Every structure is written in structure tokens, then in C-alpha cells.
Amino acid sequence: MLAVLAGGALAVALLQPSSPAAGDDPLPYQDPTLPTAQRVSDLLGRMTLAEKIGQMTQAERIDVDADPSLITTNALGSVLSGGGSVPASNTPEAWADMVDRYQRAALDTRLGIPLIYGVDSVHGHGNLLGATVFPHNIGLGATRDPKLVEKIGHITAEETRASGPQWAFAPCVCVARDDRWGRTYESYGETPRLVKSMETSIDGLQGKPGQLDHADRVLATAKHFAGDGLTSYDESAAGTGAYPIDQGIDRVTRKEFDKLALSPYVPAIKKHHVGSVMPSFSSTDFNGGSTADAVKMHGNKQLITGWLKNQQKFKGFVITDWRGIRQLPGDYRAQVKAAVLAGIDMYMEPIQAPNNPTGWDEFIPTLTDLVGDGEVPMARIDDAVSRILKAKFDLGLFEHPLTDRTHIGDIGSKAHRAVARRAVAESQVLLRNKQRTLPLKAKDTVYVAGSNADNIGNQAGGWTLTWQGGSTNVVPGQTILDGIEKAAKGDVVYSVDASKRVPRKAVGVVVVGETPYAEGFGDVGGPQWAYDPGDAGQPRQKQTMELSKADKQAVRTVCARTVSCTVLVVSGRPMIIPPALLTQTDALVASWLPGSEGGGVADVLYGRSPFIGKLPVTWPRTVAQEPINVGDKQYNPLYRYGFGLSTR
Ligand code: GLC
């Protein structure tokens, strides 16, 4: 027995690849002078199945923050911050300390494979208080300025990596076709051509090939693969608490799908070398059959392995969306099997107690059993792990696993905010300008009203401090009113509901628009549950694409009593301007979601910068016109795609 045991133990020892002892010569995978492919192959050959599956597993920070040793014992390859999941004190140093604490736990594993930390830096590092908050993508699409968008990506990467995370779940290369979708603002626009032109953001985030290990670069993610913006609206779901359009079904032909959904991924891979791709929650149904025929993207082997990996030669790795595999048919074992065999490499399986009973702690044994039972071949596991390891070597994490804080002092710097302010100015789209109302004269008395004139939470939108964003989410920066007060030389009167007396000869500025939301919560007819801590149990405002009664009243009041009247729409998408209201306004501007630097709006209002913005999406007359896009046969919008008056 002893001999057998000893023999057995010996056999296990032989089976178990050797791990490096301190002071030994570096093993090949530890030698940065060797080609990455050789380091990957050497390391892979040393890994046990448990270590391989650990690399494919991503936890949420809440799951491990109290006990980072869970990272060590489960050999976890990645941790993320979901929207709003931030360290107790939301400062750059606390973020970096947090990521480094988790990293040390990863380095304590047998082979010391470093962790990769992901976060939604979708308009700057929006979760981090004090980060520069840029306009959301729809505003960037309005700038038609690829170089500026690259610069914004670079600043975003610098502020993200300096605070710890080495991976941004951005950019969304979605083509938004129905503005009733709550994620319209995450899209650069309604045409693949415009979206592709804005993929310079990937270059900003990652730098050129070979620069990923720099302290001011992060791995980027092209998302959500594919067709997240093509889903059709389900009227029966509106008002029921479900998402009427987000995560829905693309009822398009394969030809339309190729053009509108897949085509943005070709330059993202071949020209911009994006390092990761995230599948969409949505489904495809090319035959116009019943809903049952729809195939979830998270289980679509033909598109993930067939098209993305084999045809497009994508060499990065595929990360699921948030518990995305649990939307696949069948029990959990069937879901894991389908997703792994479809070609997904890493699994965002947060537990986030008390939200979910299980997550990655169920994923690991389930996949282990599938491999043990021969239902998932080791070759598929090795493909996934090799892709993940390659990204970690490219990021320089084996040589520099802890946060390089060189740029931590530049987070939210004046220089960064100046770039954001320029982006705000370039994103403003002038839709109407009767008798050259704009630019305003600095000496004029100005009367400012409207729900979004002095609310930095509303002007920043979702993915800011919390997942959903919030009207009470305050970040350092300038509201639009702040900007007007600094630009005007005459008196400025502010009254959110226009109840204050309007001075004689005053010009009027009314800032209307939406309250923040993210994902399906922003769907027209979407749920209004209270979600974020800041909601304090209050249900979220219903999103309708219509102006609120208060905003409409403020426009009527101010436009009736001022010498001229300018309306600014601060929103994640076009809003309906009733004809009677439109005739009352002299100037109309689409301001989108400008972020922290509201002063950029004042720059164009007062002529310090010209209006150059062009509509990235069609502006409808009514919600009933949705979906309405350039190229439609019946195309009679209020303002067409690409429209924008100039004051150059
Ligand atoms: C969300 C979003 C995705 C995001 C991820 C992590 O559900 O769909 O865009 O990157 O979860 O927060």
C-alpha cells in the first residue's frame, strides 16, 4: 500500500509539471527575451486542468474582496468591476491598491500567472470619481473626428491603467438602428461606415502593436458581437418590466447582418488589432421564423468560431457578457458546454452575493466535469487558455504585474479635461438657428432654465459612478450652466422651472432632456425598477423619447418672454420635439451626453468654437417613425442623418 501510495504520489508528482523554485534560472515562460508564442506554449505545458480552467474564469470584485485568497485557491485568471463596483474609497490610489491586492493573490499561485482586471471605461474611466468623463459615443460620432476619438481613447487608457485595471470593455462597435434602444448612446451612429471610422478609439486604448505593455495603454474590447443594435422592438414586452428591445432578436437577413453587424468587426480585428471581443446578449433569426428559431450569440459557434476566429483570423480572446451563458437553452451544464464549444474563451460569471446563488464557483466544477467526461476536448481548453495568456504576455503583466502609477497624477488633469471640452464642443449639432440666434452675445442678459441645465449627473448619463448613472451622481467638472456663467459678461438668471421673472431683453437658453439610464433600463417602455444604490428605492424615470411636461412648459414660458430662445437637448438619443414647440424656438441644439466638461457647450453657444457637429443618427418626427435610418425607402425625418448647421 505504502509503495503504491508512494508510487502513486510519485506518479502524481511526475504528472504535475514542475513549478519554478525561487532562485532557479527563469523557466522559458518567465523569460521576456523569448517569443510570446514560445512562452505561451511552455506555460501551457506546465498547467494542470484546474489551472487552465481558472484562467478561463472571471469573478466580480465583490466575490473576492473580503478574501482574495479565493483567487489563489481557484487560480482565477481575471476579476472585473461591474458598473458602480468600486473600492470603499473611490480614489485612484484605492483602485490601484485594490487591483494590486488581487494581483498579489494571483501571483501566489503555483505558476504565478498574473491576473487581468477589466472595467467599463466606456466614456473615460467613468466608475472612478475624479476621472475625466468624456461625451458618450453618440456625441463622439457627431464630431466625425477620428483623430480626436483616438486621443480620447489614449487618455481613457492612461487614466484606467494608472488606477489599476489593464482592460477596458470598450468600444461598443454597435450600429444603433432603433433609437428606442437603451444603449443607443453607446453607439457611434446608425451606419457601419461611421462606426468603423470611430474605431480609432481602439488605437487610442491599445496603442500600436507592441505598446500594450505601456503604462498608458489597456486591452480593448470590441462589443457586443454581433448585432446588438439590430434587435427588433417587442411591443408586447413594453411596460411589463422586461426589456422591449435590449438583448432582443435581430430579425434581419444574413446579408443585412453581414453589412450592419459583422462588418465593423473586420477593421477592428485587421486594422486596429483589438485584443478581445465580447458576444452580445442578442440573438439572430435570419429566416424570419418563430422566436424559437433565434440563436443566442453566446452559443453561436458558426459566428464565433467559424466567422470571427477562423475566417477573420481573430487571435485575441472572447469574453462572455455578464452571466451571458445563463441565457442559453438547457441546464447550466448544457449552457457551459454550448458556450465553450461555440468558441468563447473567458467567462464573466460573477456571484456578486447576495445577487446570485452561484457564479464562477459553479462554472469551474461544471467545465471540469465536461472535460473529464470527454464532452469538451482539451484542445478547446488549450485554445482558450493560449489566447488569454498571449494577452497577458502582450500586456507585460508577467514582467510588471503591479500597477505602474507613473500617470496616476494625470487622472482628471486640466490637459485631459481640455480634450474632453473640445470633444463636447465638436459634438454639438446645430439643428435650427433662425435669424442667426447663435452665437449669443456675451454682453446680453441670459435666462437659463430646464431640467438638464445644472445637473452633471444627467449630462454624464449612464456608466458614471454607478451602472445606471444618476441625477444625483456628482463628478468634478462643469455643468452647462457653469459654462454659461463663465462665458457670459451680462447677467445670468437661472430658474430650473422658469418660475423666476424673466428680465426685459433677456435671451433664453432652455436645457431639456433625459435622466440617466443604462442597457434595457433605457429602452422606451423598459423597466423602471430602482437599481443603483443612489436610487434609494425610488423607481427610475420612464424613458419615452418625449420631453417631460416640465421641460415643455419651461420652453413655452421662456420662449414667450425672451428676445431669442435656444433649446439644448441633453440626451442619449434624439427626442421628439412637437411641431408647436419647435416653431417657438429660435435655435435648437443636440447636445447628447457631454460628460464632465459642460463648458464645451458654452464654447459653441458663445462662438468661442464653431458648430461643426453632424447628426450620427436620424432625428425622427415621432417615436412611431422608429426604426428610421438613412437609406430607408420611406424617409421623412425631422432632421436627416448627417445634418448639422455650421457657424464656421
Ligand atoms: C454589461 C454590459 C457590458 C459590460 C458588462 C460588464 O451587462 O452588457 O457591455 O461590459 O456587463 O459590466
pLDDT value of position 19:
55
Mean per-residue pLDDT for 503-521? 98
Q: Tell whether the model's pLDDT for residue 6 goes beyond 70.
A: no
Cα distance between the two ends of the chain? 89
Name 354's Cβ contacts closer than 8 Å, sequence gap at least 6: none
Sheet with 249-250, strands from edge to edge, namely 249-250, 283-284, 295-296
Mean per-residue pLDDT for 602-617? 98
The number of CA neighbours under 13 Å toward the Cβ of 541 is: 16
Please report the atom of ligand 1 found closest to the CA of residue 281: 8
Q: Kindly tell me the sign of the dihedral angle through the C-alpha atoms of 344, 346, 349, 350.
A: negative
Mean per-residue pLDDT for 452-481? 97
The answer, yes or no, to whether any atom of ligand 1 lies below 6 A from the CB of 120, is yes
Mean per-residue pLDDT for 216-239? 98
pLDDT value of position 8:
45
Q: Is 513 left (phi over 0), alpha (psi -120 to 50) or beta?
A: left
pLDDT value of position 21:
63
Q: Tell whether the model's pLDDT for residue 182 goes beyond 70.
A: yes
Helix/strand/coil for 249:
strand
Q: Tell whether the model's pLDDT for residue 13 goes beyond 50.
A: no
pLDDT value of position 15:
46
Q: Is 210 exposed, middle or buried (0-12, 13-18, 19+ CB in 10 A)?
A: exposed
Query: Considering 100, 246, 321, 532, which one is annotated as catalytic?
Result: 321
Catalytic residue flag (residue 626): no
3-state secondary structure 379-406: HHHHHHHHHHHHHHHHCCCCCCCCCCCC
Q: How far is CA 511 from the centre of its chain?
A: 26
pLDDT value of position 287:
82
Give the span between the Cα atoms of 228 and 123, in whole angstroms: 19
Q: Is 141 left (phi over 0), alpha (psi -120 to 50) or beta?
A: alpha
Phi and psi at 222, nearest 5°, equal: -85, 125
Mean per-residue pLDDT for 426-430? 99
Class of 45-409 per CATH? alpha beta
Give the DSSP H/E element, type plus range, for residue 53: helix 49-55
Q: Is the peptide bond before 171 cis (omega within 30 degrees of 0)?
A: yes
What's the maximum distance between 2 C-alpha atoms anywhere in the chain? 102
Please report the atom of ligand 1 found closest to the CA of residue 324: 7
pLDDT value of position 419:
99
Residue bearing cell 503583466? 397
Asked which of 112-116, 285-289, 455-459 is least confident by mean pLDDT, the reply is 285-289
Question: What band does 107 get if pLDDT is binned at 50, 70 and 90?
Answer: very high
Helix/strand/coil for 415:
helix
Are the C-beta atoms of residues 637 and 626 closer than 8 Å to each other?
A: no
Please name the fold of domain 428-527+539-625.
Rossmann fold (3.40.50)
Are the C-beta atoms of residues 633 and 194 closer than 8 Å to each other?
A: no
Question: What band does 532 get if pLDDT is binned at 50, 70 and 90?
Answer: confident
Are the C-beta atoms of residues 220 and 265 closer than 8 Å to each other?
A: no
Residue bearing cell 471581443? 277
pLDDT 10s digits, 315-331? 999 999 999 999 999 99
Give the span between the Cα atoms of 60 and 498, in whole angstroms: 45
Asked which of 25-29, 123-127, 220-224, 554-558 is least confident by mean pLDDT, the reply is 25-29
pLDDT value of position 114:
98
Are the C-beta atoms of residues 535 and 467 closer than 8 Å to each other?
A: no
Query: Which residue in 76, 123, 83, 116 sits closest to 99, CA to CA?
Result: 116
- Ligand 1, atom 10, residue with closest C-alpha: 169
Q: Is 642 left (phi over 0), alpha (psi -120 to 50) or beta?
A: left
pLDDT value of position 292:
76
Mean per-residue pLDDT for 606-627? 98
- Ligand 1, atom 7, residue with closest C-alpha: 322
Measured in Å, residue 318 CA sits from the centre of ligand 1 at 14
Give the span between the Cα atoms of 242 and 182, in whole angstroms: 12
The answer, yes or no, to whether any atom of ligand 1 lies below 6 A from the CB of 82, is yes
Phi and psi at 170, nearest 5°, equal: -160, 155
Helix/strand/coil for 619:
strand
Which tops the pLDDT comparison, 19 or 38? 38
Q: Tell whether the model's pLDDT for residue 547 goes beyond 50.
A: yes
pLDDT 10s digits, 242-298? 999 999 999 999 999 999 999 999 999 999 999 999 999 999 999 876 777 899 999
What residue segments make up the domains of the chain, in order of their start? Answer: 45-409, 428-527+539-625
Give the span between the Cα atoms of 245 and 261, in whole angstroms: 16
The answer, yes or no, to whether any atom of ligand 1 lies below 6 A from the CB of 223, is yes
Q: Is the peptide bond before 21 cis (omega within 30 degrees of 0)?
A: no
**Buried-state track 579-590, b at ≥16 Cβ within 10 A, e below 16:** eebeeebbbbbb
Phi and psi at 109, nearest 5°, equal: -70, 170
Residue bearing cell 481557484? 74
Question: What band does 11 get if pLDDT is binned at 50, 70 and 90?
Answer: very low
**Cell numbers describing residue 236:** 408586447
Give the span between the Cα atoms of 469 and 459, in whole angstroms: 10
Mean pLDDT (the chain) is: 95
Measured in Å, residue 321 CA sits from the centre of ligand 1 at 6
Give the span between the Cα atoms of 158 and 415, in whole angstroms: 13
Are the C-beta atoms of residues 502 and 447 closer than 8 Å to each other?
A: yes
Probe target for ligand 1 pocket from 321, 463, 466, 519, with the most ligand atoms within 8 Å of CB: 321
pLDDT value of position 566:
98
- Ligand 1, atom 8, residue with closest C-alpha: 321
Mean per-residue pLDDT for 582-597? 98
Q: How far is CA 45 from the centre of its chain?
A: 35
Please report the atom of ligand 1 found closest to the CA of residue 221: 10
Q: Tell whether the model's pLDDT for residue 187 goes beyond 80.
A: yes
Measured in Å, residue 511 CA sits from the centre of ligand 1 at 30
Residue bearing cell 468560431? 305
pLDDT value of position 531:
81
pLDDT value of position 289:
66
The answer, yes or no, to whether any atom of ligand 1 lies below 6 A from the CB of 321, is yes
Q: Tell whether the model's pLDDT for residue 10 goes beyond 80.
A: no
- Angle, CA 492 vertex, CA 490 and CA 497 arms, to 5°: 155
Probe target for ligand 1 pocket from 120, 184, 521, with the most ligand atoms within 8 Å of CB: 120
Q: Tell whether the model's pLDDT for residue 192 goes beyond 60.
A: yes
Catalytic residue flag (residue 321): yes
**Buried-state track 538-571, b at ≥16 Cβ within 10 A, e below 16:** eebeebebbbbeebbebbbbbbebbebbbbbbbb
Secondary structure letter of residue 610 according to DSSP: -
pLDDT 10s digits, 54-86? 999 999 999 999 999 999 999 999 999 999 999
pLDDT 10s digits, 130-171? 999 999 999 999 999 999 999 999 999 999 999 999 999 999
- Ligand 1, atom 6, residue with closest C-alpha: 82
The answer, yes or no, to whether any atom of ligand 1 lies below 6 A from the CB of 169, is yes
Please report the atom of ligand 1 found closest to the CA of residue 118: 6
Mean per-residue pLDDT for 395-416? 98
Overall residue count recorded for the chain in this entry: 648
Asked which of 2-6, 419-423, 491-495, 613-617 is least confident by mean pLDDT, the reply is 2-6
Give the span between the Cα atoms of 320 and 317, in whole angstroms: 10
Alpha helices in 547-635 (DSSP H): 549-561, 579-584, 599-605
Measured in Å, residue 61 CA sits from the centre of ligand 1 at 14
Query: Considering 444, 514, 519, 603, which one is annotated as catalytic?
Result: 519
The answer, yes or no, to whether any atom of ligand 1 lies below 6 A from the CB of 322, is yes
Q: How far is CA 642 from the centre of its chain?
A: 24
Single-letter amino acid code for the residue at 261: A
Q: What is the CA radius of gyration of the chain?
A: 26
Phi and psi at 39, nearest 5°, equal: -65, -40
